Chain A
Amino acid sequence: MSKKKLEENIKFWISKFISRNKDYDLKEIFEFKDLSKINNRYIKSFKDYNSWCFAPDFTIIIKNKLNNKYEIILINRSCETVGLRAIGEIMCFNRIINPKLSFLISAKGYSEEISLFLIDKKFNQKLLNYFNKNLIIFAFDDNSIKIKKESIIPFSSRKVLYE
């Protein structure tokens, strides 16, 4: 899957994913934007936003209809198999922003070498957890926006994500 195709698929998928949840509205998708430099009322509603001098691949602003608050979803994408570097980068963003959801989406899944770290709770907790939430990693089926169910880590996210 080309980089461009993967990015298109991600935008399409996340829009659909949010629309399925009646409690949330999609407000904005920023691509590769330094968050501290965006002049946007939603972003500016977050405390500390001016220190977010980094650019996740996708920053999605959603509105919680129940309490009228804005929340953030972060997505990084990887055209290669996911490795420690890619996980480390988005986890640093997560540990600062504390997004509602965070995804690392790969065109190729992950290498066998890191699979054990991802399923072994000893490492998995340290590597993927932020503020009692988890980074979710998955891959799309070839050239589609269908998630490969069995690529989703952690397992506890599968039900929510796949249905």
Chain B
Amino acid sequence: MLKSDSLFYLLGLICGKGNILGKNNFAINFNHKDKFLEGIAHCPDCGWLATGFSDLLKCKNPICKNSKSDCIDRNVRKIFNQQELARKSIDEIIIHFLKKNIYFNYEILSTDTVTILVIEDIEKEINDYIINFFEGKTGFDNFHINNDLYKENHKFKIEFINGILDTCGFFNQGNWYPRTGKHGNTRMRVYLQIVRNWKLPIQLDNFLRYNFKIPIQTIRWGHPNIVDPFLDYFHHQKKPNSAFKEHQIKLLPESLTDFTIRLEPKRTLFKELLDHNIKVDFHNPKEDWFEAKRKIEEKKIKSLHPLNNDIRISEEVRGKHINASWQINLLMGCKFLNAEKNMSKNKKVYEISGDMNETNFAKIKSRFSECALKKYKKIVNSKPREKEKEKKVSKGLDERRDTYEYLIKWLKIYIKEKFNEESEVFDTSSQTLANYFSMNFKKSDGFREKIKNLDDLNIRPDVIGISNKTNKMFFIESKVVSLGVKELGQIWAYSVIANPFQSFLISTEEISRSLLNIYAQSREKKFLNFSENKEIILGRLDLREGVKLFNV
């Protein structure tokens, strides 16, 4: 097989936001969450950056008259229709470039927020090469950069990064940070957004650093200690999922001039960010987290975070307290930091404090742990949890809620009697499964692995049970109306995707005569089946007589 720049560009696209669907089949997501994107606004008088959220913007130059109030017309910015432009460049540039050297068929699935390029019937040798490159992994959330890429020629390495930039690159005017230059005080950054993949950020950092001498300004890890250092999401807002975000590798656009961005409007926006930085003229050409100070001072120690044990965190980092992003870089395999660690007097001390010379591990460990605990207690004690606002709920929903407690008890007994196993049974009605498991993190280990893409799915059966020995999963959807076909749809679709061991639809009311009729008349059609030999089990809950199952 002849290796080509098209192949390595394709590898980059797949690594960034691709999924291997099956035989000779790949899907690549080009996300455009907002239909329209705005370019950079500059003050018409002094040329400095203008920012703001209303229709009028304010100049960032403190001595410009336009900095006193919001007075610059927002329309000085260019507006880009992301969906249209992305679609056009996929057709005219990306597919054209890929087809230069690779034979394949394709389809495009386009919605307001994402355009998906589905590559089909790719030639076998190319398909095998791609599968081997990703070492049997099938999705962008667990792809790695194969070490063999280091041995390829420079042109192929560039194409791989081009693919990453087109799928993971974000070039937003809002991602500036304060730095002083000759003609302004804002420096633009670009970032690579890496979703749920804990290995890839540092692999990309090391790959860019080693092969292109490109420094990374910082990696913003989507870890609770980094995203939610004051426990605002977890403790005060009760939004534990918000303590996990995608990872962002932040770079200066000046460092990416050797690469080609093919997707619009990313390409144009990148050029705007680059031109801005060139115009402002910064005396410091590079910024690099690796060259920044490593040692963690006491004031930088972060509070303990109860979600540090969450299953969503990579095993290498899970359970560890993080005070600085570089610590995750180290844990996730940064070669450069590892070399530095090897030169420290005590490697364990270095890992928790960044101190190259200190040797007393017990002392440092205890000081850091005490400080993190103190900060945690301070947050919890000084700002008690806000009471959840009373939600208006319909009478029906209240009644449904009354059934959950009973169904939880019933399911525990059912699993014990029927399968001779103890179990964990949860009320998951008020939140998605992902959210529920985050709040009950001690119980969640292993469940996420059972339900792939749990974080993406807005699945919420009312009650979920998991048996302790064999990890059988049980769903219950509870209703307070007579069960008809309409009531079946939701639990059926959840069950098709998650494939629980058993799935119940249970109501306090009788099963409707119509549903019984359908069941009787259409048994051969197996309309209750959600997989080969499993069907939704219908039941009736009577608080005095218990649960009576209909078709078990």
Contacts and interface: CB of A to CB of B under 8 A. Distances in A.
Contacts of B513: 53
A58 B513 CA distance: 23
A116 B114 CA distance: 11
Interface residues of B, number: 48
B393 interface: no
Contacts of B486: 54, 89, 92
A18 B512 CA distance: 35
Interface in B512-542: 512-515, 517-518, 521-522, 525-527, 531
A109 interface: yes
Interface stretch (B158-166, B252-260, B490-498): B490-498
Given A108-B112, A119-B21, A84 B493 contact: yes
Contact of A91 (B113, B116, B492): B492
B29 A119 contact: no
Contacts of A90: 489
Given A84-B459, A87-B493, A92-B527, 6 more contacts: A50-B517, A111-B458, A115-B114, A127-B493, A127-B496, A131-B525
Nearest to B492: A88
A51 B518 contact: yes
A127 B484 contact: no
B109 interface: yes
Contacts of A85: 489-490, 493
Identify whether the interface residues of B are mostly helix, strand, loop, or mixed: mixed
Contacts of B357: none
Given A119-B116, A121-B21, A110 B111 contact: yes
Interface stretch (A4-12, A20-28, A150-158): A150-158
27 contacts: A51-B514, A51-B521, A53-B518, A54-B484, A81-B111, A86-B489, A88-B488, A88-B491, A88-B493, A88-B494, A88-B496, A92-B489, A92-B492, A95-B525, A96-B518, A108-B111, A108-B112, A112-B111, A113-B453, A115-B109, A117-B497, A119-B109, A119-B118, A139-B111, A151-B110, A151-B111, A153-B109
A13 interface: no
B111 A115 contact: yes
Contacts of B55: none
Contact of B489 (A48, A88, A148): A88
B510 to A, nearest CB: 14
Given A53-B512, A96-B525, A121 B22 contact: yes
Contacts of B494: 84, 88
B456 A113 contact: yes
A162 interface: no
A120 interface: yes
Contacts of B116: 115, 119
B225 to A, nearest CB: 27
B27 interface: yes
Identify whether the interface residues of A are mostly helix, strand, loop, or mixed: helix
Contacts of A113: 453, 456-458
Contact of B484 (A53, A95, A151): A53
A109 B112 contact: yes
Interface residues of A, number: 48
B496 A126 contact: yes
B493 A53 contact: no
A90 B22 CA distance: 27
Nearest to B111: A109
Nearest to B493: A88
Nearest to B456: A113
A36 interface: yes
A123 interface: yes
A93 interface: yes
A88 B491 CA distance: 8
A150 B108 contact: yes
A61 to B, nearest CB: 19
A122 interface: yes
Interface in B41-68: none
Nearest to A108: B112
B492 A48 contact: no
Interface in B110-155: 110-116, 118
B485 A151 contact: no
Contacts of A122: 21-22
Nearest to A131: B525
B496 A150 contact: no
B87 to A, nearest CB: 8
A109 to B, nearest CB: 4
A36 B515 CA distance: 12
A92 B485 contact: yes
A69 to B, nearest CB: 19
Nearest to B514: A53
Contacts of A119: 21, 27, 109, 116, 118
A93 B457 contact: no
A127 B489 CA distance: 11
B458 A83 contact: yes
Contacts of A54: 484-486, 514
6 residue pairs, one from A and one from B, having the closest CB atoms: A53-B514, A88-B493, A89-B489, A88-B489, A109-B111, A150-B110
A108 B112 CA distance: 7
A109 B35 CA distance: 14
Interface string A19-63: 000000000000000001000000000001011111000000000
A52 B512 CA distance: 12
Interface string B412-424: 0000000000000
A104 B521 CA distance: 26
B82 interface: no
B197 interface: no
B107 interface: yes
A47 B463 CA distance: 37
A116 B27 contact: yes
Nearest to B488: A92
Nearest to A47: B521
B29 A112 contact: yes
Give the residue among A51, A52, A151 with the most B Cβ atoms within 10 A. Answer: A51
A122 to B, nearest CB: 7
B251 to A, nearest CB: 25
A85 to B, nearest CB: 5
Contact of B485 (A50, A93, A121): A93
B353 interface: no
Contacts of B428: none
